[in-house]
Amino acid sequence: MFATKQEKTGLYYDLNARLVIYAPDALGTESSKTAEGVLRYASNPIVGVIDKSQAGKTVRQVTGIPLDLPVFASLEEALELKPQALLLGTAWSGGGLPPSWKPDLLKALEAGLDIVNGLHDFLSDDPELSKAAEKNSCKLIDVRRPPEHLPVGTAACRNLDSFVVLTVGTDCSVGKMTSSLELAKVAREKNKKAAFVATGQTGIMICGTGIAIDRVIGDFMSGAVEQMVLEAAVDNDYVFVEGQGSIVHPSFSGVTLSLMHGACPKALILCHNAKRSKIKEKGIDMDILPLDELVSLYERLCSYLQKTKVLGVAFNTHGMSEEDAAQAIASAEKLLNIPVCDPVRQGAGRLFDAIEKYKESLA
């Protein structure tokens, strides 16, 4: 009942399994970024979202994501649509499992559903859940559990033919995963061979494989990134690596730097939430650094290993008026003199064009 990657496909779970997303009191809030990422990008069929506080509405009404899926008041209601797996769709700093979820998780297992979990707390470490999963022949899929025997990083990605692009941020939760996914999408639309490398729980849930770098032991973080990038580079012209955290974020800067020095990117895309001026971590009073300062800092720290340039900026303008968004983007573009756009609102075409042009200039 404890799920590891399937040997044949390298995936944690079947990308055809019918999912129901669990997001009690969270859909549409900052805590439901996992739910919204999966709704937006997963290839799995989805029957709807469980969130009593928004019950009766559609996903479109609550989140703006263009999907007319129902929001259910309860697990029982969702079960009528015969989902095959329950995906836990909320996440927060620290990542503990709320005890109040336990009864629903046990009910889901009783009903024969697998559970897909991205929290720091692993379901398969819980004796009660493990027993219930075994009894009902269900899988507990803890996507954040890192593989055993990870290597130490050796800067081996410095000399790849494949063009590695890492997303970096002004803060956490600013759109790094989204930007990497949108870039990979544009590249594929242009018939390029492109890989997306998932480094966090939501990315792993979307593509079914990857390693949650923030859950890896310090000494092996850059090695884990290196291993994934080397593997992705074998058969791809472009490797888009999902970034994490921010280089001056007091909680997670070490994770960010391990990604930078593990992936040895040739290009960076800086991601920013246009409405945010302070780090959003609870208990930390800290301004977000000016964009030009961050461009210089990210380029400097990467370039000790591999000459790196920030080629564009992805602005998350969710919730802003068209006019305000356009103004914010124009002002950043004037400051930095590189393309700035919102990959969700406008697509990542201009960012990819800048990457392709730079790649060709190096050849």
- Chain residues in the site for a copy of itself (CB under 8 A): 93-95, 120, 151-156, 213-219, 221-223, 247-258, 261-262, 264, 281-284, 286, 289, 297, 300-301, 304-305
Count the Cβ atoms, other than its own, within 10 Å of residue 176.
30
Residue closer to a copy of itself (CB basis): 21 or 288: 288
For the chain, what's the residue count?
Answer: 363
Nearest to 174 by CA among 288, 69, 286: 288
CA distance 131 to 124: 9
| Smallest gap from residue 211 Cβ to a copy of itself (A) | 11
User: 81 or 248, CB closer to a copy of itself?
Assistant: 248
**Residue 231 CB, nearest approach to a copy of itself (Å):** 18
Instruction: Give least dist CB 125 to a copy of itself, A.
Output: 12
Cα 139–chain centre separation: 22
Shortest Cβ 252–a copy of itself spacing (Å): 7
> Rounded to whole angstroms, what are the CA distances from 107 to 6, 76, 113?
26, 9, 9
Q: How buried is 202 (Cβ within 10 angstroms: 0-12 exposed, 13-18 middle, 19+ buried)?
A: buried
Closest by CA to 295, choosing from 335, 329, 262, 328, is 335
**Is the CB of 110 or the CB of 125 nearer to a copy of itself?**
125
Nearer to a copy of itself, 261 or 309 (CB): 261
In the complex, minimum distance from the CB of residue 276 to a copy of itself, in angstroms, rounded to a whole number: 17
Question: Which residues pair with residue 195 across a beta bridge?
Answer: 239
User: Looking at beta carbons only, is 108 or 239 nearer to a copy of itself?
Assistant: 239
